[in-house]
Amino acid sequence: IHFILLFSRQGKLRLQKWYTTLPDKEKKKIIREIVQIILSRNQRTSSFVDWKDLKLVYKRYASLYFCCAIEDQDNELLTLEVVHRYVELLDRYFGNVCELDIIFNFEKAYFILDEFIIGGEVQETSKKTAVKAIEDSDMLQETVEEYMNKPAF
Amino acid sequence: MPAPIRLRELIRTIRTARTQAEEREMIQKECAAIRSSFREEDNTYRCRNVAKLLYMHMLGYPAHFGQLECLKLIASQKFTDKRIGYLGAMLLLDERQDVHLLMTNCIKNDLNHSTQYVQGLALCTLGCMGSSEMCRDLAGEVEKLLKTSNSYLRKKAALCAVHVIRKVPELMEMFLPATKNLLNEKNHGVLHTSVVLLTEMCERSPDMLAHFRKVRQLSSSQLVPQLVRILKNLIMSGYSPEHDVSGISDPFLQVRILRLLRILGRNDDDSSEAMNDILAQVATNTETSKNVGNAILYETVLTIMDIKSESGLRVLAINILGRFLLNNDKNIRYVALTSLLKTVQTDHNAVQRHRSTIVDCLKDLDVSIKRRAMELSFALVNGNNVRGMMKELLYFLDSCEPEFKADCASGIFLAAEKYAPSKRWHIDTIMRVLTTAGSYVRDDAVPNLIQLITNSVEMHAYTVQRLYKAILGDYSQQPLVQVASWCIGEYGDLLVSGQCEEEEPIQVTEDEVLDILESILISNMSASVTRGYALTAIMKLSTRFTCTVNRIKKVVSIYGSSIDVELQQRAVEYNALFKKYDHMRPALLERMPVMEKVTTNGPAEIVQTNGETETAVLETKPPPSGLQPANQANDLLDLLGGSDITPVIPTAPTNKPAAAGGELLDLLGDLNLTGSPVPAPAPQIAQPPFLLDGLTTQPLFNDIAAGIPSITAYNKNGLKIDFTFERSNTNPSVTVITIQASNSTDLDMTDFVFQAAVPKTFQLQLLSPSSSVIPAFNSGTITQVIKVLNPQKQQLRMRIKLTYNHKGSAMQDLAEVNNFPPQSWQ
């Protein structure tokens, strides 16, 4: 996977994860282009779009579009499953996740993604294990008191 | 200073902004506060501030001043800080930033941290965006963690190693020992990432691939059987809630294993054999009701088609694809079409069975599906189904999006060329394409069509009549008008004489014909090239029409002062022809002779040539020499050729048509009673010729002008190999030889390999052949292009070696080719 984008039906970006290096301006241009392509596709088309030398796999969940860019030899149907699994993880963590959850807790959405995918490849195929890792990490986060009292460096 | 506002608070506030300007104001205010907070080196709230900054970054605002703060957070001892710090690093500190490398030390320390979640953070960050330098520095740490027994870390280390290898491929060797018992794990996460790591290594390095195919893993058997076993367990084992997706156990792992098996089995008989069973099992037992199952089947099909599987398995795979095509889910149909496109070359007959479904997909609404269906349809056209397929494809051409029309038109021309059941059908099809998608037809199609029409001698009257009718109503589609003008110019006499056999002849007078040609000349819609065609056509009619010669003269002289330089030149030259060389006019404007053409490809080649320019496929091979200099009709061709090569008048012997320009000069010289070469016409010849102009840019005519005879290089046991030659215009030392291998026996020859060797002073380049099967009964040929560089212009000699399978036995033969014609190397 080269990158993952989450955006709303109005085209507002909710999450962007890049697994390749590109200049900032380039990223913005790509996002604009892809958002436009996907938002203009209607219901009856397939979930795959050929774009440059990559394939875009996208799926809409409620008001959010999840879009992954994969290489030519990657399996498109499996990528749909990957997207679905990520949504399931979010759902399990937040409990009936909705777009607002992702907006207000975007850093947690990133953490969950990082427990599921590293470097563009899936690292954990068990829902239970992935969510448990996040919850344990959350436990590690200090309480306000601990935080204030712990030395910084 | 009061505590900075909390993240969620900020988010809420920003979302209340009703305009972009309002939002920008809020953001700027907050950024200022954050900046001063950073300046004060506030440890307590740094984390919160950076988090806010990241949110604003996502909205699109600049956040580079937070880079150093991320570094400080990473270095902090607090887990909360580290978490946000690493997130910030992944978002803001990619390898293009100057401060990227400063992270290295922190990451190194954290890789050795006592808490696994901190180690995890470090591995994740390194694995997502570490630069090459960083990877080099930290590869050792990653390798160490790859061997740990902690599965949480092991899986992350494996993916981190994948990233390191992608960035610094030389470090691959380093991870080899650690891979020894990666697959002995029970943990699916580790298994999955290990398979990914192995895949990456095998894909990048053929040595690694060979290594993994052969070597025995520690305390277990070889890799392929091991993978097969794991896959089998996944399929056979009972329900495992942890990894289950719609009744299938860990599809992610299954697919990755299938992919690795594909790489291991490619071109390797032993490995392929070891996996035949499991592939058959997966292919037959997987549930197809949900997307998951289909994802696995898809991967299985890709694997089966790529390895050396037995034919039963391949048929199974194609049938699965056929079933996919009937599925209602568009995604599945899309995937099926893509795979079929890849396999149509090798398993042509199997794919043919699904032809009707594929053709139905042409009517789908989805653009990507349509494109694939179109490409596949072209690949499947053959002699039997051409009429039906063409009907569908023409209908498609009518209704498809503009971006397809050019490719579709080219494809139709190609297919029609190869499989036309009759000349009339062929011409009709071309007409249909020209009228429906006339403006999208590629420019190079025009000369090809003209050549085609010229060669269908008996259809001339019919063709010109139809073309005339077509442009009567509408002459805006340039390619159509160009072809029509040319035809009318050539066959105008047939048109007015009402000689058509194929359909009702129409009554056309010479004046009407000239009317139409003139309106093309005048029209604003006509391109300059088109006007050139029209003018030339009018000129040619001066010898074919009887009553309207004066009118033609008038038209031609008007354009002698045209603003368009090309038209002007032509008109002036035609005028000269009327005035000074009127006795030569009939000879010069005579009917074009039939051009010889040899088809170069067998039936299954359309996919490869789809989208390519047609000239590449429809290369005209030079006619055998035998052109007599007295044959004035050929001088037309020579004229053409002469201007293409160089304007210099060569001194070659007169019976060689290569000295094209010179021929005409001789001709003129002979007829001109002064006996000395007339200087005036010579520069004219040097210009792009005034006849048949649109065709000059095509390499087709270079061949004719060169006129190098072809030879039979080898003819034994039913295998015949012909060589045809072209000389490169740009580099006179290069000879391009196209070999054509045909088979007159009653059985196909398979696995045909042609090899050639030349003496030391030459250089040889062999391009890839069109296929490796020569069908029996001369029903098709293999073509291959050889480029010979002959800087010393020595006599060309070649030794060839042929290997093929025929009638069940392997055949091999060596031969020497000595009968190269001198024109091919002088």
> Would the pLDDT of B792 be above 70?
yes
Q: State the pLDDT at residue B221.
A: 55
Strands (E), B163-263: 244-245, 248-249
A37 part of contact set with chain B, CB < 8 Å: no
pLDDT at B753 over 50: yes
Whether the predicted pLDDT of B274 surpasses 50: yes
B77 with A106: Cβ contact below 8 A: no
Q: Give the DSSP per-residue string, B55-78.
A: HHHHHT---GGGHHHHHHHHHSS-
Cβ–Cβ gap B81/A152 under 8 Å: yes
Domain ranges of chain A: 3-148
Strand partners, B723: B711, B739
Is A128 close to B255, i.e. CB distance below 8 A?
Answer: no
- Residues of chain B contacting A100 with CB distance shorter than 8 Å: none
Residue of B nearest to A114 (CA): B124
Q: Does B690 or A95 have the greater pLDDT score?
A: A95
- Tabulate helix, strand, coil % of chain B (nearest 5): 60, 10, 30
- On the question of pLDDT at B813 being above 80, the answer is yes
Determine the pLDDT at residue B595. 65
Residue A23 is nearest to which of B15, B60, B96, comparing CB atoms?
B96
Return all residues near B260 (Cβ < 8 A) that are at least 6 apart: B195, B198, B199, B202, B227
Nearest CA in chain A to B332: A77
Alpha-carbon span B625 to B623, nearest angstrom? 6
Smallest CA–CA separation between B285 and chain A, in Å?
18
A48 and B77 in contact by Cβ < 8 A? no
* AA letter at B647: P
Instruction: Name the residue among A47, A75, A123 with its Cβ closest to that of B193.
Output: A123
Task: Say if residues B281 and B325 touch (Cβ distance below 8 Å).
Answer: no
* pLDDT attached to residue B163: 92
Q: Which residues of B touch A50 (CB under 8 A)?
A: 368
Contact B609, B381 (CB under 8 A): no
Measured in angstroms, the CA of B608 and the nearest CA of chain A are apart by 19
Q: How far is the alpha carbon of B621 from chain A, nearest alpha carbon, in Å?
A: 37
CA distance A4 to chain B (A): 13
Instruction: Tell me how close the Cα of B156 comes to any Cα of chain A, in angstroms.
Output: 7
Mutation target for A interface from B50, B126, B128, B190: give the one with most A CBs within 10 A: B128
**Inter-chain Cβ pairs, chain A and chain B, closer than 8 A:** 174
Q: What is the DSSP letter of A45?
A: S
pLDDT in tens, A61-98: 988 999 999 998 889 899 999 999 999 999 999 888 88
CA atoms within 13 A on the CB side of B66: 31
Assigned token pair, A144: 């306000």
The answer to whether residue A121 neighbours chain B at the CB level (below 8 Å) is: yes
Interface probe with B: pick from A17, A77, A85, A127, most Cβ of B within 10 Å: A77
Q: Which helix (H) or strand (E) holds B789?
A: strand B781-789
Q: Does A47 touch chain B (CB under 8 A)?
A: yes
Fold designation for A3-148: Beta-Lactamase (3.30.450)
State whether residue A144 sits within 8 Å of chain B by CB. Answer: no
Q: How far apart are CA A108 and CA A101, in angstroms?
A: 9
Kindly report the backbone phi and psi dihedral angles of residue B238, in degrees, each rounded to the nearest multiple of 5, phi listed first. Answer: -75, -170
Q: How far is A97 from chain B (nearest CA, A)?
A: 17
Q: Is the pLDDT of residue B691 over 50?
A: no
The predicted-structure confidence for B697-734, as pLDDT tens digits, reads as follows 333 333 333 467 788 888 888 888 888 888 776 677 78
Q: What is the DSSP string of B356-399?
A: HHHHHHTT-S-HHHHHHHHHHHHHH--TTTHHHHHHHHHHHHHH
Selecting from A80, A129, A141 the residue whose C-beta is nearest the C-beta of B189 gives A129
Q: To 10 degrees, what angle do helices B311-326 and B330-343 make?
A: 150
Handedness of CA B797, B799, B805, B809 (dihedral sign): positive
- Say if residue B617's pLDDT is above 70: no
Q: Judge: B251–A124 Cβ closer than 8 Å, yes or no.
A: no
Confidence of residue B650 (pLDDT cuts 50, 70, 90): very low
pLDDT at A82: 92
Which of these ranges, B54-68, B380-394, B704-718, has the smallest mean pLDDT? B704-718
Q: Which two tokens stand for residue B345?
A: 């070359």
pLDDT in tens, B471-481: 777 777 777 88
Question: CA-to-CA distance for B64 and B51, rounded, in angstroms?
Answer: 13
Chosen for mutation from A126, A138, A145 (greatest number of chain B CBs closer than 10 Å) is A126
- Whether residue A18 lies within 8 A of chain B, CB to CB, comes out as yes
B564-602 per-residue burial string, b: 16 or more CB within 10 A, e: under 16? eebbebbbbbbbbbbeebeeebeebbbbbeebebbbbbb
3 state SS of B699 = helix
Q: How confident is the model at residue B601 (pLDDT cuts 50, 70, 90)?
A: very low
Is A40 within 8 Å of chain B by CB? no
pTM over 0.90: no
Name all domains of chain B by residue range, CATH numbers in brackets.
443-589 (no CATH), 711-824 (2.60.40.1230)
Strand partners, B744: none
Contacts of B404 (CB under 8 A, 6+ apart): B370, B371, B374
Q: Which residue of B has its CA nearest to A134?
A: B117
Q: Determine whether the interchain pair A124/B44 forms a contact, defined as Cβ–Cβ distance below 8 Å.
A: no
Q: Name chain B contacts of A18, Cβ cutoff 8 Å.
A: 94, 129
**Amino acid, res. A93:** Y
Task: Please check whether residue B340 is in contact with residue B296, taking contact to mean a CB–CB distance below 8 angstroms.
Answer: no
**What's the confidence (pLDDT) of residue B626?**
33
ipTM of the assembly? Answer: 0.93
Find out whether A123 and B155 touch, Cβ atoms under 8 Å.
yes
**Residue B367 and residue A45: Cβ atoms within 8 Å?**
yes
With an 8 Å Cβ cutoff, is A45 touching chain B? Answer: yes
Q: Decide if A125 and B192 are in contact by the 8 Å CB cutoff.
A: yes
A77 in reach of chain B (CB within 8 A)? yes
| C-alpha span between B23 and B791 (Å, rounded) | 71
Tens digit of each residue's pLDDT (9 = 90 or more) over B533-551? 888 888 888 777 777 778 8
Residue pair B297/B320 in contact by the 8 Å Cβ criterion:
yes
Q: Which of B188, B331, B368 comes nearest A126 by C-beta?
A: B188
Residue among A21, A45, A126 whose CB faces B242 most closely: A126
Q: Residue B59 — very low, low, confident or very high, per pLDDT cuts 50/70/90? A: confident
For residue B349, is it left (φ>0), alpha (ψ between -120 and 50) or beta? alpha
Contacts B20 to A, Cβ<8 Å = none
Q: What is the pLDDT of residue B616?
A: 33
DSSP characters for B89-140? HHHH--TTSGGGGGHHHHHHHHHT-SSHHHHHHHHHHHHHH--HHHHHHHHH
Q: Evaluate whether B168 touches B139 at the Cβ level (below 8 Å).
A: yes
Percent of chain B scored above 90 by pLDDT? 2
Rounded to the nearest integer, the mean pLDDT of chain B is: 76
Question: How much is the average pLDDT of B753-779?
Answer: 82
Quickly state the pLDDT bin for A116 (edges 50, 70, 90): very high
Q: In the 8-state DSSP scheme, what is residue B774?
A: B
As a whole number of angstroms, the distance between CA B808 and CA B490 comes to 53
Please list, in sequence order, all residues whose beta carbon lies within 8 angstroms of the beta carbon of residue A1, skipping any fewer than 6 positions away.
Answer: A19, A68, A69, A70, A74, A79, A82, A117, A120, A121
